[in-house]
């Protein structure tokens, strides 16, 4: 404790003087030096900012850190990131280039905070608004609009992201720096959070254990919460969405208030969906779900310190469709002619509390960031009785994350970081069965990295990391004594980016590591919602991945093309092997592993904005993955090839009755015939979605109305990654939606 | 302005309350006897829990009770 106090005193007394002056500036057009009215000035570290006035002038009058990154953006211009320090106290001028396409030029790495010309690791960043140009039912479905990313689903309510063919324990999901831990080993355990209060999603594709630790073998989903209101502003609003197919209703509210050095956000929502309808007009029994969520964030800053406290609560009651006790299921068990939202069995009840606090201290040549978090997840699965769960577990995780960034040198930034967590899993005595025993785990990782900016064109990054994961597992059916499993690993990442005029090249090699989860080592029971009897193996070794990822991007004022092939080699890839045995009508599956597994694939993106038709945008992306083991055999659950094309047309009209934009999305899924034994092939299909949006604009009131339909042609299809595919249950048919969001904002004293 | 903030906070408070509030839970229950379902009607809360946990005794025989839609 004494050491902690001494360190705290040293830390605070060593802080350099704050930049107390008011920072004023102007944003201009780079081509003709004319001011850009109402441009947004965002202080990245504070998640808050201000807007320019009609003459393009701005003023930041709140306490600012020693150094800061300002993100400056305006409609029709390429956004820019400007780094300022206390010397920049005179009127600053920021010039933006006009652009028809939003280019990804400057990047601030979410985890490292490093400003770079072009992302060296493969990061795709999308705002939720972009991902819901045509509204979606869930966050998981929205993520499936990103190239290289798919959604693994169990009906409408349970979705988990799949990055380059990997999901579950091979993908780490972060909510503003806090890793989501919610029993993600289960095929039917979803992402665990919804779109409430989420502004932006970053997807890191491929092995990323250097910065994100064990489990980030297939990639990382990083969810950014909504930013605070502009300084001295108050904002409040409501959102509502109705979907015809599942009679789904989602209502939410938000409130944001920002004073000079303190900010507060509050969000809440409630959602309820009945059973969804398939094109044959039958309803998928028990695909109903409902949920509630609350999210709050408090941000503060003083001198060279910025801190946030964040809390999220999510509660979901998810029906599990496709329930049957028969080895040959009857269609009457799976489909009904009427829909309902009444709670029935089987049911998954999933509640999570996420509490975190992050603090950043700015020094003259460095900064230090800490994040502490607590995640408490309560999972109950009801199979035979509505008041007695089949399985019930409480997973509690305390995590910590520290990162020191040193900018002492002109060209180099040095990073030193540590991450870790303590976790306990406890079974509830009320539950009828134990699938995963009580356990404790302790993980710790230490890493360092150097980012070098050799010139305006060339940047490199290299890093190394050491990890240790220890699991202590209580006595169970496969282990007669208390058991301790201990794993260690070294990971690395190295890459470079080179940009020249309209061309950008990137090369990155990285590794990923994942120790076997105790469920894979010690499972010995029925996992009801997955409809199988699972048997683990203590002989499993950690998975280790090496990925080579290269990309080339060309962009000009009207066209942007990205080609991104990769190869990933995974040692000891764990998979579920179906046997010919049945226990209580459940197929018996064993956890086994391959010596070597190869994932070859790539993504190609194309964005065209014709000069002769400025209001039209055509965006296409193609995703392909081929996977095999060392003997050339197929790997299960490999996504279908996909071509997704989105056409948007912005309408400029004086008539307010006309929509401001129209959207048409066509998604073609190719067939998937490379399957393992007992896995079913998937046919090709095509989905067409349409949407239109209207703007509501009045003094102090703004909003949007969206109307559209997904699967307009009512195509009957089953996605290859649907968990209920083996039962022949189709994905939803035609789904009309209407959504409304309204918000008021005004200045406060 | 004050009224707006107050209204928003009241809505937020009510939402929090609705999340934490436990509503009464009722289900139609039955047990299987000689291959046929014997309906027990709608049971709620503690009655429901007791029936599911202990089953039902009929003529000295204990039957397992199921309380969910098929």
CATH number of the domain located at residue range(s) A12-99 in this protein: 2.60.40.1120
Separation between Cα atoms, residue A425 and residue A435, nearest integer Å: 12
Look at the domain A139-227+237-747 and name its fold: Maltoporin; Chain A (2.40.170)
In chain A, which residue's Cα lies nearest the Cα of B16?
Answer: A294
Kindly state the percentage of chain A with pLDDT values over 90. Answer: 64
More confident: A454 or B34: A454
> Taking CB atoms and an 8 Å cutoff, what residues of chain A touch B25?
343, 386-387
Separation between Cα atoms, residue B33 and residue A498, nearest integer Å: 75
Distance (Å) of CA A622 to CA A42, A125, A565, A720: 33, 17, 11, 17
- Torsion angle, alpha carbons of A209, A211, A213, A218, to 10: -40
Q: Is B67 on the interface with A (CB under 8 A)?
A: yes
Mean pLDDT of A402-415: 92
Backbone φ/ψ region at B9: left (φ over 0), alpha (ψ -120 to 50), beta: alpha
Identity of the residue in A236, A333, A388 whose CB atom sits nearest the CB atom of B8:
A236
**Minimal CA separation from B34 to chain A, in Å:** 19
Instruction: Reply yes or no on whether the pLDDT at B7 is more than 80.
Output: no
> Taking CB atoms and an 8 Å cutoff, what residues of chain B touch A292?
15, 18-19
Mean pLDDT of A68-80: 82
Give me A723's structure tokens: 């968990």
Residue whose entry in the numeric block shows the structure tokens 């004023």 = A24
Whole-prediction pTM: 0.89
Q: Is B21 on the interface with A (CB under 8 A)?
A: no
Q: Is B1 on the interface with A (CB under 8 A)?
A: yes
> Taking CB atoms and an 8 Å cutoff, what residues of chain A touch B49?
387-388
Instruction: Reply yes or no on whether the pLDDT at A393 is more than 60.
Output: yes
The DSSP output letter for A515 is: P
Among A387, A746, A748, pick the best mutation site for testing chain B contact (most B Cβ within 10 A): A387
Separation between Cα atoms, residue A388 and residue A365, nearest integer Å: 58
Q: Are A98 and A31 in contact (CB under 8 A)?
A: yes
Q: Is residue B52 part of a domain?
A: yes
Reported confidence tier of residue A478, pLDDT bands at 50, 70, 90: low
Residue whose entry in the numeric block shows the structure tokens 């071509």 = A643
Kindly state the percentage of chain A with pLDDT values over 70. Answer: 93
Mean pLDDT of A563-586: 91
Q: Is residue B9 part of a domain?
A: no
The DSSP output letter for A682 is: B
Reported confidence tier of residue A6, pLDDT bands at 50, 70, 90: very low
Instruction: Reply yes or no on whether the pLDDT at A43 is more than 90.
Output: no
Identity of the residue in B9, B15, B68 whose CB atom sits nearest the CB atom of A294:
B15
Q: Is B18 on the interface with A (CB under 8 A)?
A: yes
Instruction: Reply yes or no on whether the pLDDT at A677 is more than 80.
Output: yes
**Minimal CA separation from A197 to chain B, in Å:** 14
Interface of A with B (CB under 8 A): 234, 236, 253, 255, 257, 266, 268, 270, 292, 294, 313, 315, 333, 340, 342-345, 384-388, 744, 746, 748
Instruction: Give chain A's mean pLDDT.
Output: 89
Asked if the Cβ–Cβ distance from B68 to A234 is below 8 Å, we say no
Identity of the residue in B11, B19, B25 whose CB atom sits nearest the CB atom of A292:
B19
pLDDT at A5: 44
**Minimal CA separation from A385 to chain B, in Å:** 6
- Out of A75-89, A304-318, A484-498, which region has the weakest mean confidence (pLDDT)? A75-89
CA atoms within 13 A on the CB side of A4: 1
**Minimal CA separation from A269 to chain B, in Å:** 8
**Sign (positive/negative) of CA torsion A590, A591, A596, A601?**
positive
Reported confidence tier of residue B3, pLDDT bands at 50, 70, 90: low
Reported confidence tier of residue A106, pLDDT bands at 50, 70, 90: low
Contacts of A612 (CB under 8 A, 6+ apart): none
Q: Are A398 and A373 in contact (CB under 8 A)?
A: yes
pLDDT at A109: 72
Contacts of A441 (CB under 8 A, 6+ apart): A421, A422, A423, A424, A469, A470, A471, A472
CA proximity to A306, closest of A112, A82, A80, A62 = A62
Reported confidence tier of residue B5, pLDDT bands at 50, 70, 90: low
Instruction: Reply yes or no on whether the pLDDT at A316 is more than 90.
Output: yes
| Domain extents in chain A | 12-99, 139-227+237-747
Instruction: Reply yes or no on whether the pLDDT at A252 is more than 70.
Output: yes
**Minimal CA separation from B29 to chain A, in Å:** 10
Instruction: Reply yes or no on whether the pLDDT at A156 is more than 50.
Output: yes
Asked if the Cβ–Cβ distance from B19 to A294 is below 8 Å, we say yes
pLDDT at B4: 61
Binding-face residues of B in 24-53 toward A, CB within 8 A: 25, 27, 48-49, 52-53
CB pairs under 8 A between A and B: 62
Asked if the Cβ–Cβ distance from A255 to B8 is below 8 Å, we say yes
- Out of A264-278, A312-326, A711-725, which region has the weakest mean confidence (pLDDT)? A312-326
**Minimal CA separation from B13 to chain A, in Å:** 10
Asked if the Cβ–Cβ distance from B68 to A294 is below 8 Å, we say no
Q: Is residue B37 part of a domain?
A: yes
- The tens digit of pLDDT for each residue in B31-41 reads 988 888 899 99
Burial (CB count <10 Å: 0-12, 13-18, 19+), residue A604: middle
Residue whose entry in the numeric block shows the structure tokens 């000035």 = A41
Q: Are B44 and B24 in contact (CB under 8 A)?
A: yes
Query: Which helix (DSSP H) or strand (DSSP E) does residue B67 occupy?
Result: none
More confident: A507 or A122: A507
Instruction: Reply yes or no on whether the pLDDT at A607 is more than 60.
Output: yes
> Taking CB atoms and an 8 Å cutoff, what residues of chain B touch A266?
8, 12
> Taking CB atoms and an 8 Å cutoff, what residues of chain A touch B16?
268, 294
Contacts of B17 (CB under 8 A, 6+ apart): none
Q: By residue range, what is the domain housing residue B54?
A: 24-70
Separation between Cα atoms, residue A444 and residue A427, nearest integer Å: 25
In chain A, which residue's Cα lies nearest the Cα of B47?
Answer: A387
Separation between Cα atoms, residue A346 and residue A158, nearest integer Å: 14
The neighbouring-strand residues paired with A646 are: A619, A665
Asked if the Cβ–Cβ distance from A234 to B25 is below 8 Å, we say no
Mean pLDDT of A139-165: 95
Q: Are A242 and A271 in contact (CB under 8 A)?
A: no
Separation between Cα atoms, residue A553 and residue A399, nearest integer Å: 37
The gap from C-alpha A658 to its chain's centroid, in whole angstroms, comes to: 34
Separation between Cα atoms, residue A220 and residue A226, nearest integer Å: 19
Contacts of A682 (CB under 8 A, 6+ apart): A640, A669, A671, A672, A673, A718, A719, A720, A725
Residue whose entry in the numeric block shows the structure tokens 């139609």 = B28
pLDDT at B12: 56
In chain B, which residue's Cα lies nearest the Cα of A251?
Answer: B15
> Taking CB atoms and an 8 Å cutoff, what residues of chain B touch A270?
15, 18
- The tens digit of pLDDT for each residue in A260-302 reads 889 999 999 999 999 999 999 999 999 999 999 999 999 998 8
Identity of the residue in B1, B12, B52 whose CB atom sits nearest the CB atom of A388:
B52
Burial (CB count <10 Å: 0-12, 13-18, 19+), residue A544: buried
Q: Are B27 and B67 in contact (CB under 8 A)?
A: yes
Mean pLDDT of A56-81: 80
Instruction: Reply yes or no on whether the pLDDT at A118 is more than 90.
Output: no
Asked if the Cβ–Cβ distance from B68 to A236 is below 8 Å, we say no
Backbone φ/ψ region at A219: left (φ over 0), alpha (ψ -120 to 50), beta: left
Instruction: Reply yes or no on whether the pLDDT at A443 is more than 90.
Output: yes
**Minimal CA separation from B60 to chain A, in Å:** 23
Among A380, A385, A701, pick the best mutation site for testing chain B contact (most B Cβ within 10 A): A385
Q: Where are the beta strands (DSSP E) in A478-583?
A: 483-500, 503-514, 524-527, 532-535, 543-555, 559-571, 574-583
Asked if the Cβ–Cβ distance from B52 to A385 is below 8 Å, we say yes
Asked if the Cβ–Cβ distance from B11 to A253 is below 8 Å, we say yes
Overall number of domains in chain B: 1
**Minimal CA separation from B59 to chain A, in Å:** 24
Give me A728's structure tokens: 């022949």
Distance (Å) of CA A19 to CA A40, A79, A610, A670: 21, 25, 45, 57
Asked if the Cβ–Cβ distance from B18 to A270 is below 8 Å, we say yes
Identity of the residue in B11, B67, B69 whose CB atom sits nearest the CB atom of A342:
B69
CA proximity to A222, closest of A375, A63, A352, A111 = A111
SS (H, E, C) A242-287: EECCCCEEEEEEEEEEECCCEEEEEEEEEEEECCCECCCCCEECCC
Give me A63's structure tokens: 């306490």
- The tens digit of pLDDT for each residue in A325-343 reads 666 678 888 999 999 999 9
Asked if the Cβ–Cβ distance from A748 to B67 is below 8 Å, we say no
Q: Is residue B53 part of a domain?
A: yes
Instruction: Reply yes or no on whether the pLDDT at A19 is more than 50.
Output: no
Burial A408-421 (b: 16+ CB within 10 A, else e): eeeeebbbebebbb
Mean pLDDT of A595-613: 93
């Amino acid at each position: 404790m004494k050491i902690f106090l001494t360190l705290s005193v040293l830390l605070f007394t060593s802080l350099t003087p704050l930049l107390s002056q008011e920072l004023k500036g102007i944003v201009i057009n780079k081509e003709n030096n004319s001011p850009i009215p109402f441009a947004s000035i965002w202080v990245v570290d504070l998640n808050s900012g201000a807007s320019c006035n009609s003459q393009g002038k701005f003023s930041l009058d709140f306490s600012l850190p020693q150094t800061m990154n300002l993100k400056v953006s305006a409609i029709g211009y390429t956004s820019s990131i400007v780094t300022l320090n206390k010397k920049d106290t005179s009127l600053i001028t920021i010039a933006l280039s006009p652009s028809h396409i939003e280019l990804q030029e400057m990047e601030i790495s979410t985890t490292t905070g490093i400003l770079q010309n072009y992302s060296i690791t493969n990061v795709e960043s999308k705002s939720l608004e972009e991902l819901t140009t045509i509204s979606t039912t869930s966050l998981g479905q929205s993520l499936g609009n990103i190239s290289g990313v798919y959604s693994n689903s169990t009906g409408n309510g349970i979705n988990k992201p799949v990055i380059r063919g990997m999901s579950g324990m091979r993908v780490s999901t972060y909510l503003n720096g806090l890793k989501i831990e919610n029993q993600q080993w289960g095929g039917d355990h979803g992402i665990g959070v919804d779109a409430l209060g989420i502004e932006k999603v970053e997807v890191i594709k491929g092995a990323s254990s250097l910065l994100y630790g064990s489990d980030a073998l297939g990639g990382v989903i990083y969810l950014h919460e909504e930013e605070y209101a502009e300084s001295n502003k108050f904002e409040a609003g409501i959102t509502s969405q109705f979907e015809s197919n599942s009679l789904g209703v989602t209502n939410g509210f938000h409130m944001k208030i920002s004073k000079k050095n303190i900010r507060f956000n509050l969000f809440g929502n409630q959602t309820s969906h009945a059973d969804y309808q398939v094109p044959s007009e039958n309803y998928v029994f028990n695909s109903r779900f409902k949920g509630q969520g609350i999210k709050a964030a408090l941000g503060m800053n003083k001198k060279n310190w910025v801190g946030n406290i964040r809390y999220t609560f999510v509660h979901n009651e998810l029906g599990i469709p496709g329930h049957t006790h028969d080895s040959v299921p009857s269609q009457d068990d799976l489909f009904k002619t009427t829909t309902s939202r009444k709670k029935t069995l089987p049911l998954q009840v999933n509640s999570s509390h996420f509490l975190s606090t992050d603090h950043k201290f700015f020094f003259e040549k460095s900064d230090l960031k800490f994040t502490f978090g607590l995640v408490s997840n309560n999972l109950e699965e009801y199979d035979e009785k509505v008041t007695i769960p089949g399985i019930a577990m409480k997973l509690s995780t305390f995590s910590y994350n520290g990162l020191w960034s040193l900018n002492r040198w002109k060209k180099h930034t040095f990073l030193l970081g540590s991450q870790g967590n303590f976790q306990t899993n406890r079974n509830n005595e009320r539950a009828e069965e134990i699938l995963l025993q009580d356990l404790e785990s302790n993980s710790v990782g230490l890493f360092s990295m150097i980012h070098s900016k050799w010139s305006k064109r060339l940047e490199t990054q290299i890093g190394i990391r050491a990890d240790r994961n220890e699991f202590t597992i209580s006595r169970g059916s496969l282990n007669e004594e208390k058991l301790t499993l201990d794993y260690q690993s070294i990971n690395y990442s190295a890459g470079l980016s080179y940009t020249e005029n309209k061309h950008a090249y990137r090369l990155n090699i990285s590794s990923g590591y994942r120790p076997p989860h105790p469920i894979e080592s010690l499972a010995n029971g029925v996992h009801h919602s997955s409809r199988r009897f699972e048997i683990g193996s203590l002989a499993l070794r950690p998975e280790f991945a090496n990925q080579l990822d290269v990309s080339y991007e060309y962009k000009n004022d009207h066209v942007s093309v990205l080609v991104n092939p990769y190869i990933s080699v995974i040692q000891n890839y764990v998979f579920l092997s179906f046997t010919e045995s049945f226990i209580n009508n459940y197929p018996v599956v064993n956890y086994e592993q391959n010596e070597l597994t190869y994932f070859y694939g790539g993504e190609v993106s194309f964005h065209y904005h014709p000069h002769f038709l400025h209001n039209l945008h055509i965006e296409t992306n193609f995703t392909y993955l081929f996977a095999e083991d060392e003997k050339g055999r197929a790997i299960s659950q490999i996504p279908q090839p996909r071509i997704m094309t989105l056409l948007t047309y912005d309408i400029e009209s004086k008539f307010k009755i006309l929509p401001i934009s129209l959207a048409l999305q066509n998604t073609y899924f190719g067939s998937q015939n490379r399957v393992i034994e007992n896995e079913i092939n998937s046919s090709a299909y095509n989905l067409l979605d349409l949407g239109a949006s209207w703007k509501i604009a009045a003094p102090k009131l703004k909003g949007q109305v969206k109307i559209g339909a997904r699967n307009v042609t009512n195509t009957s299809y089953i996605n290859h990654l649907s968990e209920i595919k083996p039962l022949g249950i189709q994905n939803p048919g035609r789904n009309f939606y209407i959504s409304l969001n309204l918000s008021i904002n005004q200045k406060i004293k | 302005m004050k009224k707006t903030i107050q209204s928003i906070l009241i809505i937020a408070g009510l939402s929090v309350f609705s999340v934490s509030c436990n509503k009464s839970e009722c289900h139609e229950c039955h047990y299987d006897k000689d291959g046929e379902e014997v309906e027990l009607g709608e049971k709620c809360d503690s009655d429901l829990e007791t029936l599911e946990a202990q089953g039902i005794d009929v003529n000295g025989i204990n039957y397992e009770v199921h309380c969910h839609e098929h």
